[in-house]
């Protein structure tokens, strides 16, 4: 774990290292989840196995499984950075059903295991580890939203 030096023009940010134990690349700005199985034998203070999916048997409401947002593209088996606290410039927003708009101040979280993004409206169990800092309209596909505050630490 490492922290950015705090000053008057930048907000505090915190990152951790993870190893991609998924079968695919974890994309930059996508939510990342811990694996509570053989790939994860260390504590959270050390490098852990992680995946872009919530994994079988754990729903999005399992807040302990969510780590944060990928800070870079992380190849399969590679070590990469995940931001767990602070301002993040972009996020992957999952598709929404109906007329929903993300507005500044709304809490957001990941959805079911098939989703690779986060959103705020229409989620059954939204525990809100992310706070939107800008407006994003309805989308029927994965898109990027701008400006989010992460509070997964």
Please check the confidence at residue 30 and state whether its pLDDT lies above 80.
yes
User: Are both 112 and 73 inside the same structural domain?
Assistant: no
User: Are both 10 and 59 inside the same structural domain?
Assistant: yes
Structure tokens at 30: 């996508």
Q: Which one-letter DSSP state was computed for residue 26?
A: B
Given this model, what pLDDT does residue 106 score? 83
On whether residue 150 sits in a domain, the answer given is: no
On whether residue 152 sits in a domain, the answer given is: no
On whether residue 134 sits in a domain, the answer given is: yes
Q: Do the beta carbons of residue 119 and residue 108 sit within 8 Å?
A: yes
User: Are both 7 and 72 inside the same structural domain?
Assistant: yes
Please check the confidence at residue 133 and state whether its pLDDT lies above 50.
yes
Given this model, what pLDDT does residue 46 score? 53
pTM across the whole model = 0.77
Domain count, the chain: 2
User: Are both 100 and 76 inside the same structural domain?
Assistant: no
Given this model, what pLDDT does residue 129 score? 85
Which residue range(s) make up the domain with 139?
91-144
Given this model, what pLDDT does residue 2 score? 67
Output 139-145 pairs: Cβ under 8 A, ≥24 positions apart. Answer: 139/93, 139/95, 139/96, 140/95, 140/96, 141/95, 142/92, 142/93, 142/94, 142/95, 142/116, 142/117, 143/92, 143/93, 144/29, 144/90, 144/91, 144/92, 144/93, 145/90, 145/91, 145/92, 145/93, 145/102
Given this model, what pLDDT does residue 114 score? 57
User: Are both 19 and 79 inside the same structural domain?
Assistant: yes
Please check the confidence at residue 26 and state whether its pLDDT lies above 50.
yes
Between 22-31, 36-45, 81-90, the lowest mean confidence (pLDDT) is in 36-45
On whether residue 12 sits in a domain, the answer given is: yes
User: Are both 55 and 110 inside the same structural domain?
Assistant: no
55-110 residue pLDDT tens: 444 444 444 577 889 999 999 889 999 999 999 999 888 876 665 778 888 888 87
Given this model, what pLDDT does residue 9 score? 72
User: Are both 71 and 110 inside the same structural domain?
Assistant: no
Please check the confidence at residue 126 and state whether its pLDDT lies above 70.
no
Given this model, what pLDDT does residue 58 score? 44
User: Are both 9 and 75 inside the same structural domain?
Assistant: yes
For residues 37 and 75, the model is more confident at: 75
User: Are both 62 and 103 inside the same structural domain?
Assistant: no
Q: Which residue(s) pair with 14 in the sheet?
A: 3, 85
On whether residue 37 sits in a domain, the answer given is: yes
Highest mean pLDDT among 1-10, 86-95, 108-117: 86-95
Q: Which residue(s) pair with 74 in the sheet?
A: 26
């Amino acid at each position: 774990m490492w922290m950015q030096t705090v000053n008057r023009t930048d907000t505090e940010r915190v990152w951790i290292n993870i190893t991609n134990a998924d079968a695919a690349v974890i994309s930059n700005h996508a939510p990342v989840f811990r694996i509570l199985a053989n790939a994860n034998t260390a504590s959270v203070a050390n490098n852990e196995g992680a995946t872009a999916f919530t994994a079988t048997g754990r729903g999005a409401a399992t807040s302990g499984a969510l780590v944060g947002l990928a800070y870079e593209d992380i190849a399969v088996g590679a070590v990469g950075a995940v931001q767990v606290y602070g301002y993040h410039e972009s996020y992957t927003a999952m598709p929404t059903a109906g007329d929903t708009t993300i507005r500044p101040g709304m809490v957001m979280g990941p959805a079911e295991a098939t989703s690779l993004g986060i959103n705020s409206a229409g989620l059954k169990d939204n525990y809100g580890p992310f706070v939107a800092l800008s407006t994003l309209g309805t989308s029927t596909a994965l898109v990027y939203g701008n400006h989010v505050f992460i509070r997964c630490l």
